[in-house]
Chains A and B, each alone.
Chain A
């Protein structure tokens, strides 16, 4: 993918970078990846396309650098800790969003940027390097914890994920804070107590991560699965309103009541964003508010810039407000997202149930139509014979021989109908009776044996290709009927073939240790591929296969054993009927006649 051209690193780097942008925009343009499953599978596959390589490191480094510059520019003391460190959020966010493969590029970029920013701030190389290591470690620890305890699809749409991010951030910054405090003492000759330094580092990084990382994570998630246009529009409107209100709040004079106003105005907007749009919008809104708070604190505007309070207190206040607002927004967003997910799942399972119900109905219809058709044949014969007999009686003289023959046929057709009903009834018996372990190969050979004469008469060559199978639990009679039906259909289909050999292939094999596959293939004229789906239905009129009990019933039998019956054909050189059976036949609900 993104190869490294050794030679001109800078040029190579920028070329990679632009390639990366191009790939990224293609991903955005080409649209969502589809359903959840694909999303989970592809989360790292997609990012795999554009992580790795110098390009990513450069991008991350640049962003980190800018954020670092901003923070360092807001330093209270020249050798103090930066009070707001959104850069931490950038590095952690990118790592979490892009996955483990981005580890080294992101860490490398962060380190390079830290060193650069610190050097430009007149700090020495050792201090800069030490801070670089701490920052990189922090991002790696935070992201590492997330990757270990959550799966690849981390988009803050669950409460667990929000709390997990908070915890990971805390742990990461606690540890890196120790390193940072030590570095400050060692390389900066700072006079402040270690605990204070550690606290400043911890507070500023935690707030930075919480405020910025969700935004990065949310953006990556939105790129993977872009929101629908309506959501984009609504979210953008809400964010715009939020920005306006934030500006309004900032400009308020410091009156007593104006401590309440921000909450009153901002909370509904954040609630709107959290409830109606996916988490990335709430993250953006929270980021906006955090940014406004930081800005006003540093530059002494509005409520947070109240110069009456000492700067330490104001910073603490600002950090606290940011934490509360952002965590609150994310928790709400996650809860709402979970609820939407539950609703969607409910809707899906309802649709599935409805489809199953429809299927069952269709099956019942198919079966009754099949039975009705089968019964009509002997009925027609009986009535026709009866009418013929009457006519023979009406002749002068009456033809008694013909009448006798007709009556005898009527009786035998009556018997045939009765047998037909019996065999149908055995199909619909309650399923507890008659389940036994079946040797499928032996059953197939028995069926082929019973067809031996017919196959010979019709000049059909039989090729059984049976492999060793475990016993399958099921109703032997029913499965035998299915195989019989398929063999008969194949036989009849090949009746029309004269220009090539008539070959009936019956194959069995094991798909995996719990599933058996049986295939019946013929060299007949095949079935029109466009009609393949319809042949299992009740009113399929142009069947080349399909006498006897009907494919609808066969499918029902197989499905009741927990399997599937499918047909495939190219419409020219034959048809293949395949059914799979679980070894331990699970029982779908029985169609009971009672």
Chain B
């Protein structure tokens, strides 16, 4: 499946007219759509890469929308969800929002509300992807460090002085300083704060 930088809207609703109409609506603002008639159909298909969001009816054959949201969370599939419903009660709304839904719209909805929610959801997904990519970069750089350097990075970002680190690692202080410089260089960190942030991403920061 091709990757669409603009993002794809995935619509799951069991009513064919609704699916058709929503495709038309998103088409009119230049968004690509893929439609599914049930949660199962969705899970069985291969999803395109790239930013995407889910527009989901709470009432679906086979599995309710809320259950589906839970299933996705369990499978660690992160897609921002916009819910819609023919009837909604407050507890359902709260539950869905608590579980991380972007928006909860009644049917019929104002088209602008739906488009705003979908744009917000796509933004969220885009941001998450960038964050993940950034994280991947950090991890890749971390993998280029030698074990000693990794350990030094852990102590440095914990806030220890070089002398202490030397004592912990049974090295000379000058060796520690050498490792520290290498770490900064290889990780591409511009400051200690930067390095700390990277250490958190990797999860290497030692507890002092």
A interface residues with partner B (beta carbon < 8 Å): 369, 372-374, 376-385, 387-389, 391-392, 395, 399, 402, 405-406, 409, 412-413, 416, 492-493, 495-496, 525, 539, 541-544, 546-547
Contact = CB atoms under 8 A, between A and B. Distances in A.
Given A379-B108, A539-B87, A541-B64, A402 B17 contact: no
A409 B22 CA distance: 12
A380 B24 contact: no
Interface string B57-81: 0110111101100000000000000
Given A376-B86, A388-B27, A542 B64 contact: yes
Contacts of A385: 20-21, 24-25
Contacts of A374: 86
B58 A388 contact: no
Contacts of B66: 541-542
B18 A377 contact: yes
Nearest to B39: A496
B111 interface: yes
A384 B86 contact: no
Given A384-B25, A387-B111, A546-B59, 11 more contacts: A373-B87, A378-B15, A380-B18, A383-B109, A383-B111, A402-B28, A493-B62, A495-B62, A539-B87, A543-B64, A544-B64
Contact of A541 (B40, B59, B84, B111): B59
A543 B57 CA distance: 13
A406 B24 contact: yes
Contacts of B141: none
Contacts of B89: 539, 541
19 contacts: A369-B87, A374-B86, A376-B107, A377-B107, A380-B21, A384-B18, A384-B22, A384-B108, A391-B29, A395-B28, A399-B28, A409-B20, A492-B38, A495-B40, A496-B62, A541-B58, A541-B64, A543-B59, A544-B62
A536 to B, nearest CB: 16
B39 to A, nearest CB: 8
Nearest to A495: B62
B107 A380 contact: yes
Interface in B1-54: 14-15, 17-18, 20-22, 24-25, 27-29, 38-40
Contacts of B25: 384-385, 387-388, 391
A388 B62 contact: no
- From DSSP, what is the main secondary structure of chain A's interface residues? helix
Nearest to B13: A377
A539 B89 CA distance: 8
B106 to A, nearest CB: 8
Nearest to B108: A380
Nearest to A416: B17
A592 B114 CA distance: 39
Interface string B76-118: 0000000010110100100000000000000111010010000
Contacts of A379: 107-108
B45 to A, nearest CB: 14
Contacts of A377: 15, 17-18, 86, 107
Contacts of B63: 496, 544
A392 B63 CA distance: 35
Given A496-B62, A541-B58, A376 B27 contact: no
A510 to B, nearest CB: 33
B27 A402 contact: yes
Given A376-B108, A402-B27, A496-B62, A381 B17 contact: yes
Contacts of A546: 59
Nearest to B19: A381
Interface of B: 14-15, 17-18, 20-22, 24-25, 27-29, 38-40, 58-59, 61-64, 66-67, 84, 86-87, 89, 92, 107-109, 111, 114
Given A373-B87, A380-B109, A541 B92 contact: yes
Nearest to B16: A381
A493 B24 contact: no
B11 to A, nearest CB: 11
B111 A547 contact: no
A456 B67 CA distance: 28
Contacts of B84: 380
Contact of B17 (A409, A493, A525, A547): A409
A381 B114 CA distance: 13
A405 B62 contact: no
Contacts of B15: 377-378, 381
Contacts of B64: 541-544
Q: Which of A381, A402, A409, A412 has the largest number of chain B CB atoms within 10 A?
A: A381
A39 B87 CA distance: 48
Nearest to B29: A391
Nearest to B41: A495
6 tightest A-B contacts by CB?
A387-B111, A492-B61, A381-B17, A391-B28, A384-B21, A373-B86
A383 B62 contact: no
A188 B40 CA distance: 100
A413 B17 contact: yes
A383 B108 contact: yes
A327 B109 CA distance: 79
A413 B24 CA distance: 15
B87 A381 contact: no
A544 B68 CA distance: 12
A542 B24 contact: no
B2 to A, nearest CB: 23
A385 B22 CA distance: 7
A405 B24 CA distance: 9
A378 B17 contact: yes
B191 to A, nearest CB: 48
A57 to B, nearest CB: 67
Nearest to A377: B15
Contact of A381 (B18, B28, B38, B39): B18
B22 to A, nearest CB: 6
Contacts of B17: 377-378, 381, 409, 412-413, 416
